[in-house]
Amino acid sequence: MMRSPHIELDRARSALSAVDPGCDRESWVRVMTAAKAAGLDFDAVNEWSAGAGNYKGEKDVKAVWRGLKESGGVTAGTLFHLAKESGWRDDFIGVTTRDKPHQREAPTRPAVDPVAVWNRCVSADPGHGYIARKNGFPEGLRVYPAHAERLSIAGQDVAGWLVLPAVDLQTGDLKTLQFIPPGAGKKLNLPGCPVAGAFVVGSIEAGKPCYLVEGIGQAWAVSKATGAAAVVSFGAGRMEAVARELRNLHPHARPVLVADVGKREHCRKIAEAVGGGWVCAPDDLGNNGDINDMEKRDGWQAVAQLLAAVEFPPVRFRLMTAGDLLRLPPVQWIVKGVLPLDGLAVLYGPSGSGKSFLVLDLLACVVDGREWFSRRVRPVPVTYCALEGEAGLAQRMQAYQMRHGTAAGSLLRFMTCPFDLLTGDDVEGLAKAIGSAGVGGGVVVLDTLNRAAPGTDENSSQDMGHIIAACKRLQGLVGGLVLLVHHTGKDATKGLRGHSSLYAALDAAVEVTRSEDRREWKVAKSKDGRDGDAEPFLLEQVTLGEDADGEPVTSCVVVRGEPQQGERVPKMTVTERLALNALRKLEQSKGDAPPEDAPEWVHVAVKEDDWRAECYAAGISTGDDSSAKRKAFQRARQGLMDKRMVGCRDDLYWIA
């Protein structure tokens, strides 16, 4: 029975849609050859290919299409054979024309109904092989059960596989399903259902970031690191379509495309097209490495820092309505009330005031996301350009980790090479190094300004203008905040050394003062906050070891100072009181021998893991979320240490 050419093309399109476009490249070329032999054109094959997670773009498809040659072993029949292996049913048998009303029309339903398959599935649990391997969670996912009707995709029985739904972002209608094996193996899509829709982890909110990722593993990493929404596009080839749909449906959310290694430019172009931002997994993860790989290697804090370093396309002039203005988010802080999220800031004081110790203490808290003097901190990457001696810095860092634990401040990045702000190559070279390391969008510290601008006259308005312009150039290239460490003049009461234009250009300034043994830092300027907040601090000496002559090598760490008479005495928060009681209980029941360098009066110490577990058991956080519990413990621990109520050496703690 002869079919009309139109019917035969419809039959070929239906068969092609049933074959998984995410197959290996050799199989993909074979399917394309068979589709061409069946009479399908380039547009049909390109549309089918775009549904794959490994889709490389129209140019790639076109290059292969043009090079296809006839093969006696690959015919139109090959296409129909492969489709039937994938579960396709030939509904065109007996159809000979498409224009007679009494004849059957070309089928419009997919070969397999995704809703029917989804309804056969059972809820996933955390023990599923893929979820466990990716440190994920099962919410919204199902598993295809062994007792259900057998389902084979690309010749594989998918019983026990994780099932990920792709839904229409506007209507919520189920479009297709993705199947993920519990062990090794590639993901497979439901045959006969072109990949469409997306899967959302979390809730998309106006004014907040909404991260767009390729797969569910990256979405889990985003959720744990930021708590923000993550949208799974089911492959790089679908990111643009999903990004445009997100922009239309959620115009006030902030879309951020998260690129796997090697796909930075792909995501950057999409972000620029939709007015969003982009960030890329670090290159040292290897080809196609992603943020889930980064989480497993470096931890969720490193992912949080990476995701905070979002790049946005430059917009010279932005016009806003009154509504846009009112919807702008409140001032964003790195250290609440002290350092803004972006701009230019300075920490300054006279020699010997302790500003270098204070700035290291501040930066380590920022990179770790720990409270600083009881002020909330947003974890962001930090690049510390230490231009005044490597040895002293190494000793300060060693002392800091002896006081706060060996992991404290471990994510700090240091640069100790000579650097000149007024040399364009130096500014661009530093920005490139920071970008390549994936630590942009946080804080870049220049310690000190004098060393970063050698040979300039700080009192000259012209020279200071060049310095300010160079700082803003660096901030524009890297994003985030540029923090200068600077000196006061001969008369410390007159503030910053140099021309007054520097102070006028600042978004924030922190002044460090010393009177005999009393030291204090104060918010001298806050363009978007309150000036005048101050905190006393002390420098506590730490013995690092002995030199070649047997004499002690020492450095100092910052501890919260005792308020003078008339100043407010810090009070403990509820969680700090709970944590202190937990530590007291463990000292009596589960204490260990103190470290060798602990004060003489300390007879028992508690491991951090034991203290944390006891705090969790005592209900330090009302939620079940492990991230909330962890943050509550970290805030309580640091608050008690800042108030000098708890001591620490080598991750062992005691009540002071």
Arithmetic mean of pLDDT, 370-382: 88
For residues 65 and 127, membership in a common domain is answered with no
Using alpha carbons, select from 193, 210, 232, 162 the residue that is nearest to residue 86. 193
Residue 105 lies in a domain: no
Residue 103 confidence (pLDDT) = 40
Residue 100 confidence (pLDDT) = 39
Rounded to 5 degrees, φ, ψ at 141 are -115, 160
User: In whole angstroms, what is the distance from residue 192 CA to residue 235 CA?
Assistant: 18
Q: What is the CATH number of the domain that holds 638?
A: 1.10.10
Please give the DSSP secondary-structure letter assigned to residue 572: P
Tell me if residue 595 falls in helix, strand or coil.
Answer: coil
Residue 376 lies in a domain: yes
| DSSP labels, 405-443 | -TTTTTT-EEE-S---TT-HHHHHHHHHHHHHTT--SSE
For residues 365 and 498, membership in a common domain is answered with yes
Its pTM surpasses 0.75:
no
For residues 374 and 509, membership in a common domain is answered with yes
Q: Are 384 and 392 in contact (CB under 8 A)?
A: no
Q: Which of 112-121, 216-225, 544-553, 562-571 has the lowest mean pLDDT?
A: 562-571
Residue 96 lies in a domain: no
Residue 551 lies in a domain: yes
Arithmetic mean of pLDDT, 48-61: 74
Rounded to 5 degrees, φ, ψ at 604 are -150, 145
Confidence of residue 281 (pLDDT cuts 50, 70, 90): very high
User: In whole angstroms, what is the distance from residue 94 CA to residue 90 CA?
Assistant: 10
Task: Tell me the sheet residues that pair with 255.
Answer: 210
User: In whole angstroms, what is the distance from residue 269 CA to residue 47 CA?
Assistant: 21
Please give the DSSP secondary-structure letter assigned to residue 341: S
State how far the alpha carbon of 594 is from the alpha carbons of 165, 650, 653, in Å. Answer: 53, 10, 8
For residues 210 and 181, membership in a common domain is answered with no
| pLDDT digit string, tens, across residues 533-544 | 888 988 888 888
Q: What is the CATH number of the domain that holds 470?
A: 3.40.50.300
Please give the DSSP secondary-structure letter assigned to residue 618: T
pLDDT above 50: residue 216: yes
| pLDDT digit string, tens, across residues 90-142 | 766 655 554 433 344 444 444 578 999 999 999 999 999 999 999 899 999 99
List, as own/partner pairs, every contact residues 523-530 make where C-beta atoms lie below 8 angstroms and the sequence separation is at least 24, other chains included: 523/337, 523/338, 524/495, 526/337, 526/338, 526/340, 527/340, 527/343, 528/331, 528/340, 529/331, 529/333, 529/337, 529/338, 529/340, 530/337
Higher pLDDT, 23 or 143: 143
**How many domains, in total, are found in the chain?**
5
For residues 73 and 127, membership in a common domain is answered with no
